[in-house]
Structure 1
C-alpha cells in the first residue's frame, strides 16, 4: 500500500519548504485567518497547496520578496520516460523520442535564424537610407573588474556618457577583445553565464543577433546556415571552430510572459516560459521530449536573452529553488535559470544596460562580462557613407567640414542614424539634431491632435527634469502619475516620419520600470523644460544648479536652445515658447562668460568649449576665448573635438599651448580635421614635451601651421625623428614661420639627414629664428648644419 504522503504520479504538489527558508509556524498561519464575515476561499485538503501558498494569493512576487516570502514552487512529477502517456498509447520508443526531440530542436534553430536577421535600415526606408552590404560591429572590451568599481555604477543610476561630454578621465575600461575572441568565449565551458553590457543604442541587440547567427552558421544547424557558410562574413578562426552547439535559442526578455505564481493557475514551468509559449505549432509530445533533450544535453545548448534591463519582474529578494519540471512565477524561474540552479551547463548570454547588471546579487552575476565600447572612427565613416547611399561620400565630407563635433557622437550606432537623418536638414550641432528628431515626431501622422501631443511632451519634460535632478534614468508608474500621464499615453509615443514609423521602438520602454530608449532623449527634454521656466525660476537654476556635473549634457542642449542662432525658432517654439526671451539669453551669456574667466580643471574647461560650440554665439565665443592653454594637462578625444570645434569659430587666437598633453597622431588629426576650412589665424602653437606625436602627428601639425598662418611653432623635447621632420616639411609648404623652436631634441636621432631636412624647412618657411638649445650635436654636425643655413640669414640660438 502506498504511503499517503507520497504524491501520485503526475500529481501537482507544493514544495513546502525552500532550502534556505524556515517553515512557517502554524500559529502564524492561523493569525492570517479572515475575520468573521469576510469571504474565505475553501482550501481543499487534496489541493496540494500549502497554507503559505494560500496566504500569498493575490500578491505580486515583488511584494512577497519584500516580506521575505518567496513565491511557492508547485512540484510536478513527470511521467517516467517510456511509460504510457495517454490511454491507447504504448511506450515511446527511443526512435520516436529522437524524432520528437528533433522536431523541437529544428523548430527553434530555424526560428532563431529568422529572428536574428539584422537589417539596420529596415525602419528608415522612407528616409532613403541604404542597407550596408557589410557588417560593422562596436568595439568590444572584456571587463573583468566590473563589480570592483571598474564600470558598475555605485549609487547613482544616471551616468554621463563620454561621447556627449568631456569627462575627467576617458581611460578605457577593460581589455580590448575581438569578435573572434568573444565567440571563442561562448564555446568555453568554463563560462556558462555571459553578459554584454552598454548604453542604450550602442548595438547590444544587433551584436547579440549576429552572435546567434554566427553560431548557427558555424554549427550548420539550419539549411540556410549551411548554404551561408561559404559566403557569411566570418573570420578564418571562427570558420575553423569546432561544432559544439546543437540548439540555439534567441529571446527578447520583454516578450517573456509575466506570471505571478501565487497560485497554481498563475504558475509556469521554466521550459514552458522560455520555449513552450513560443512553440504553438509543436505538439505536447514534441515539447515534452524536447524539454527532456535540453535537460540531458545542456552543454550543447546556448540561450541568448536580450534586454535584462527591460524585465518587469524582480530578481531581487528570496526565491525558492526548483526543478525544470516544476512551476512557479516568472521571477522565480528566471532566478533559478540565471543562478545556474536550472540548466547549470547551458550557456546563457544576456544583454543589459550597466545599471541593471550592477544591482544583481552575487549569485546572479555573470562570469564573463563584455562591454560595447562604440564604433571605431573608420567604421563610423564606412557605415555613415553606406547608409546614406548615393552621395554618401559628399555627405561625409560635408559632415566633417561643417559639423565635426558630431562625429564622436556617431560612435553610438543609434546616434549615427540620427546624424544621417538630420544631415539632410543641415543641423551642425547635437542640439540641432535632437530638435529635428523631436520635430519630426511632432508633425508625424501619429499626432492627429497636435495640442494634446504637445501637452504630453511637456509633461514628459517635467518628468525628465525631475529624474535628471535626482540623477535617475529609471522611472515608475508613480513618476508618470505625478505628471498626470497614463502609461498607455507614454507607450503610444512612437517617433515617426510622415507616413511611416521613424523608429520601430517606443520612446519609453517597459511597464513597471521605464526609461527612455536613449538617455539623450531624457537630457534634451530636460533642457527644453528648463528653457521654458519663468525668468525667476530660470535664473535660480542657472545660479544654483547648472554648474553641477550631472547637468553637463543638459547644459550643452540648454545653451543651444537659448543661444544658437542657426537653430530655427520653429523647432523650439512648440515645445518651449518662452525659451528665447532677452532675459534668459542674458543669463546664459553671463554664466558662460563668468565660467570662462574662472580657474578650473582641464575637463571642465574642455566641457565649456563643448557648451560654447552648441551655443554657436560668435560674439560670446570671441569674448570668452582669446587664448587656449592646457599646459601639462590631459586632453581626451572628446575634449579635442570640443576644443578644436570652438577654435574653428574663432578668427584670431594669440596662443594655443598644448605642451605636455600626451598628444598623438589621432588627437592631432582631430585638430586638423576640425580646423579644415576655418579662417582662424594663430600667432603661436606650442606642442613641446609631447614625445608620442610620431611622424604622422608632425605631418598633421604641418597642416595646422600652414593653414592657420602660425608665426611661432615650438616642438621642444618631442622626440624628433627624420621621418617626422620630412612629414612636417611636406605639409608646411609656403608657411612663413618667424620662430621655430626645436630645443631639447637629441640630434643624434636625426643624424645628418634629419638636420638637412631642418635646414630645408628653415629655407622653405623663411624662418627668422631657430631654437636648437640642448640638442647636443657633435662639433662636426654643428659646423655642417651652420654651413647649410649660412646663406639664409636665420638667427640660430643654442
Structure 2
C-alpha cells in the first residue's frame, strides 16, 4: 500500500484536505488546481446547494473520475495539490485579493453616488449648495401601507334618501371619504413621527439596534416622482461607505461591501447568473466577478445592496406573475433574480434597500414585499426655504418673500424637491418678474422649464401632450382646484405613463388616490 493512501480511503483524504481550504478559496482551488470547468462547478453547486462540504467532495470525485491511470494515486495527488495551493496563496494574500475586489465595488458605488441634483440645470444659473437637506422620512406599518390606511381621510355626515312602503325616508349617516383637495398641501406629521438620516443609516449599517426599524433585510424607500428618492439613495450609500472597514482587535480588518445598483440600466436578453446580475461588467474577468460574488455569499452580514429605481426597470416584477425560487448559482431572467432577492431566498442575511414609486411596490407579490417601508413626505418648510434661497443666490430672500406675499399656494408645493428646483429655475430667469399667481401661469412657466430638461421622455409628442395638460389646467382653474386625479388624464386621452416626466405628486397621499400636479 502506498504511503499516500489507497483508493479505499480516498473519501477520508478528501474530507481531511477539504478542511484545509477556506470557503472563500475553494472556487479558485477548483479552477486553478483541479481544472474543473465552470459548467461542472455550477452543476455540482446547484445539485448540492444545501451542503457546501458535499459540493467540495463531489468536485473532488469529478476530478478523480477524469484520470484513468492505474499507477496514479489520487490521495497523494490531492495532498500535493492542496500543499502547492497553500504555498502559492497565503492567507494574507488571499485576504488582500478579496479586499481589493470589495474595494472595486465600493469605489464604483462612490463614483455613481456623486451629487448630481443640479446637473440637468447647469445653464440655469442656480448656485450649487454646500449643504444637504433631505425629505422627511416616516416609517409606516407594512400592513397599513398595503391596505391604504395611511391616507388622509375624514368622516362626513351625509343625508341618504331611501324609499319605504310609507314613502320617502331621509336619514343621516357617516361616510368616510378622502379629504377634498383644493389648493396645494403636503402631508402633515409630527416631528417625532419621522426618522433622521443618521437613524436610518445606523439601522441599515447595523451600528445600532434602532427601534424605528425591524430586524429584517429589506427596506423600501417609497415616494412619488420628484420626491428625492434617487438623491436620498445616493446619500445613504455614500454615508454607508464610511463603515466599509471596521477594525477588530489589533490586526484583523473586516471589509464591508456597499453596492449601489441602478436597475434601469440592467438589461439582459436571456437568463443570467445572480453574480452577473449584480456585478456584470464591473470586473476585468469572470474569475474576479465570481470571487467577489463568493465573498458576498459568505459575508452577507457585512454587505448592503442598494437597488435604485425598481419602478424604472425595463423588466417587470409582480403584477400577478409567478416566479420560481432559485439558488445562488442558477441561471434565471432578471425579474426572477430580483424577486428572489426581495423575498429573501437570495442573500437573506444581507441588508437590502430599494427605492420605487408607489405603483410598483403595490404590485409586488406578498412574499417579496419589504419588511420596512419608509415614506418620503417632502422637505420641511425651513429646509425648503433654506435651499430655495441658496439656489437663487443674493436675491433669494427677496424671491422667497415674493412667493409668501404674492403666491402663498406655492409654499406647500416647493416641499417637493424637484418642484422646488423648477420653481427656482422659473424665478431665477427673471428676478424682476413676480411669481406666478394663477394656475395657468404656474403651469406655463414650469412647463417651459421642463421642456429644457434633457431626460424628458415622449419628446416627439410633447406638444400634443402639453396641449391636453393645458386643457386640464384650465378646467381645474374654473373648478377652483389645482390637484388632479388619474381619471382627469383619462378623460383627455392621456395615461400616467405618457406624462410621468411632466407631473409631480403631492407628498403624503396614498396608493388609491394618486394625485397628479
TM-score normalised to structure 1 length: 0.42
2 CA distance for matches of 1:149 and 1:269?
36
Alpha-carbon offset, residue 174 of structure 1: 10
Query: Which residue in 2 is equivalent to 1:102?
Result: 99
Are the counterparts in 1 of residues 447 and 502 from structure 2 also a CA contact under 8 Å? no
Equivalent residues of 1:247, 1:301 under 8 A apart: yes
Q: For 2:336, which of 327, 332, 339 is the aligned residue?
A: 332
- Partner of 1:125, secondary structure, is helix
SS at match of 2:315: coil
In 2, the alpha carbon distance for the partners of 1:110 and 1:176 equals 31
1:407 aligns with 411
Mapping of 1:226-305 within 5 angstroms? 246-259=256-269, 266-277=270-281, 279-280=282-283, 282-305=284-307
> Cα offset for 1:404?
1.9
State whether structure 2 residue 340 is matched by structure 1 residue 356: no
Change (3 A) 1:551 1:94: closer
1:391 CA displacement:
1.9
The runs of 5 or more residues in structure 1 that have no matched partner are: 1-6, 17-75, 154-158, 222-242, 260-265, 486-507, 523-548, 555-798
Aligned length: 386
Structure 1 residue 289: deviation in Å?
A: 1.4
Distance (Å, rounded) in 1 between the aligned partners of 2:385 and 2:441: 21
1:206 and 2:231 matched: yes
User: Structure 1 residue 93 and structure 2 residue 109: aligned?
Assistant: no
> For 1:294 and 1:520, how far apart are their aligned partners in 2?
38
Q: For the residues of structure 2 that align with 1:187 and 1:380, how far apart are their CA atoms? A: 28
Q: Give the match's secondary structure for 1:471.
A: helix
- The change in CA–CA distance for 1:521 and 1:166 in structure 2 (over 3 A counts) is closer
Tell me what 1:322 maps to: 326
Change (3 A) 1:214 1:170: closer
How far apart, in 2, do the equivalents of 1:443 and 1:418 lie? 11
What pairs with 1:714-729 in structure 2 (closer than 5 Å)?
Answer: none
Q: Deviation at 1:319?
A: 1.4
Map of 1:256-655 to 2, 5 A cutoff?
A: 256-259=266-269, 266-277=270-281, 279-280=282-283, 282-316=284-318, 317-423=321-427, 424=430, 425-429=433-437, 430-440=439-449, 456-459=462-465, 471=487, 516-520=500-504
Match of 2:123 among 95, 120, 126: 126
CA deviation profile, 1:231-253 (whole Å, cap 9, x unmatched): xxxxxxxxxxxx98610011111
Conserved in 2, the CA contact under 8 Å of 1:251 and 1:304?
A: yes
Q: 1:402 to 1:135 in 2, by over 3 A?
A: same
Deviation readout 1:318-339 (Å, 9 max, x if unpaired):
2121122221111111111111
Q: In structure 2, what is the Cα distance between the partners aligned to 1:342 and 1:455?
A: 42
The answer for the alignment partner of 2:66 in structure 1 is: none
* Distance in 2 between residues matched to 1:453 and 1:162, nearest whole Å: 30
Quote the residue 1:216 is aligned against.
241
Correspondences of 1:664-683 after superposition (within 5 Å):
none
> Is the Cα–Cα contact under 8 Å of residues 197 and 204 in structure 1 kept in the other structure?
yes
| C-alpha distance in structure 2 between counterparts of 1:149 and 1:162, whole Å | 18
- Aligned counterparts of 2:445 and 2:243: Cα–Cα separation in 1: 43
- 2: CA distance, partners of 1:143 / 1:464: 36
Q: 1:128 to 1:352 in 2, by over 3 A?
A: same
Q: Work out the CA distance in 2 between the residues paired with 1:445 and 1:367.
A: 36
**1:345 match: secondary structure:** coil
Q: Which has the higher contact order (CA 8 A, sep 6+)?
A: 2
Residue in 1 that maps onto 2:203: 185
Shift of 1:267: 1.3
What secondary structure does 1:291 align onto? helix
CA contact (8 A) 1:248 1:301 kept: yes
1:195 aligns with 2:229: no
SS in 1 for 2:414: helix
Q: Does the 8 A contact of 2:389 with 2:400 survive in 1?
A: yes
Offset at residue 514 of structure 1 (A): 6.4
C-alpha change, 1:471 and 1:346, in structure 2 (3 Å) is farther
CA separation of 1:163 and 1:170: change in aligned 2, threshold 3 A: farther
Once residues 514 and 105 of structure 2 are traced to their aligned partners in structure 1, the CA distance between those partners, rounded to angstroms, is 46
After superposition, the C-alpha distances for 1:441-460 in whole angstroms (9 at most, x for unaligned) are 6689999xxxx978652157
The aligned residue for residue 29 of structure 2 is none
Structure 2 CA distance for aligned equivalents of residues 401 and 463 of structure 1: 27
3-state SS, counterpart of residue 207 of structure 1? helix
Contact 1:137 1:207 in 2 (8 A): yes
For 1:772-787, list aligned pairs within 5 A.
none
Report the more deviating stretch, 90-99 or 353-362: 90-99
Three-state SS of the structure 1 residue aligned to 2:487 is coil
Matches of 2:293 and 2:489, distance apart in 1: 39
Question: Does the residue aligned with 1:381 lie in a helix, a strand or coil?
Answer: helix
Structure 2 distance, partners of 1:369, 1:186, is: 13
Change beyond 3 A, Cα 1:98–1:245 = closer
Q: Say if 2:44 and 2:58, in contact at 8 Å, map to a contact too.
A: no
Measured at CA, do residues 122 and 181 of structure 1 come closer, stay the same or move farther in structure 2, by a change above 3 Å?
same
Report which of the two structures shows the higher radius of gyration computed on alpha carbons. Answer: 1
Instruction: Verify the 8 A CA contact 1:309 1:353 in the aligned structure 2.
Output: yes
Separation (CA, whole Å) in 2 of partners of 1:459 and 1:350: 31
CA deviations on 1:677-732 (whole Å, 9 max, x unpaired) are xxxxxxxxxxxxxxxxxxxxxxxxxxxxxxxxxxxxxxxxxxxxxxxxxxxxxxxx
CA distance in structure 1 between the partners assigned to 2:100 and 2:455 by the alignment: 43
**Alignment partners' CA distance in 2, 1:332 and 1:433:** 44
